[in-house]
Amino acid sequence: QKEVEQDPGPLSVPEGAIVSLNCTYSNSAFQYFMWYRQYSRKGPELLMYTYSSGNKEDGRFTAQVDKSSKYISLFIRDSQPSDSATYLCAIPSVNFNKFYFGSGTKLNVKP
Amino acid sequence: DAGVIQSPRHEVTEMGQEVTLRCKPISGHNSLFWYRQTMMRGLELLIYFNNNVPIDDSGMPEDRFSAKMPNASFSTLKIQPSEPRDSAVYFCASSGQGANSPLHFGNGTRLTVT
């Protein structure tokens, strides 16, 4: 079983839609959870970084962690064409010497 | 903050040739990671350095791959000899000294081996 599994997509939505991106993980010891955004021909950039369970909001983005289900989500409200990118969930090992990445979900927001 | 700097951005080479990819991590970061990204396999960790010392190279696919970090501001990933199946985007990432520091990626080197 892989440490992190991500819904592969791709996902195509109209501008203004609410987007939900999801990952599951296998190790209940994981404490920190990250979302990276990767534009075409660029490196992944850190978008959201959360600790333990609960929600974290940053503008139109909300990261949600449900440790009981080992399930993490990223919600994008009022999606914009500029949100079109690949989104990767990432979970560091307990000592941060490994980062487990999901396979990425490619999102296309149509104007 | 200049971010993680990788060179070259693109490399096209013929099978059998030596390829060297370069990385300058963010100043003050003490951990450096090399990743390879393909459509089929996503992001794969190749090797991880901490304080310039290789800690985990279990992801290096074959002896044809080698990586060095001679000082805190420079690392190389070498492939010799290169093969078409090495074609991918290679990313370098660094993280800081603080506990629980996230990864910061460069913009990658797109390698094509013909």
Who's near A57: CB < 8 A, 6+ residues apart?
A63
Task: Tell me the shortest Cα–Cα distance from B69 to chain A, in angstroms.
Answer: 17
Strand partners of residue A4: A25
> Which residues of chain A have a CB within 8 Å of the CB of B34?
none
pLDDT tens, chain A, 111 aa long: 789 999 878 999 999 999 999 999 999 999 999 999 999 999 999 999 998 888 999 999 999 999 999 999 999 999 999 999 999 999 998 888 889 999 999 999 999
Q: What percent of chain B has pLDDT over 90?
A: 89
Say how far apart CA A2 and CA A25 lie, in whole Å. 8
> Which residues of chain A have a CB within 8 Å of the CB of B105?
36, 43-45
Say how far apart CA B86 and CA A12 lie, in whole Å. 31
A45–B50 C-beta distance less than 8 A: no
Task: Tell me the shortest Cα–Cα distance from B106 to chain A, in angstroms.
Answer: 6
Say how far apart CA B114 and CA B14 lie, in whole Å. 5
The beta-carbon neighbor of A103 closest among B31, B42, B101 is B42
Question: Which pLDDT does position B1 carry in this prediction?
Answer: 63
Tokens 């999801």 map to which residue? A22
> Which residues of chain B have a CB within 8 Å of the CB of A103?
42
Q: Is B86 helix (H, G, I), strand (E, B) or coil?
A: helix
pLDDT digits (tens, 9 = 90+) for B37-78: 999 899 999 999 999 999 999 999 889 999 999 999 999 999
From residue B16, alpha-carbon distances to B81, B82, B113 in Å are 4, 5, 9
Task: Tell me the shortest Cα–Cα distance from B19 to chain A, in angstroms.
Answer: 20
A32–B33 C-beta distance less than 8 A: no
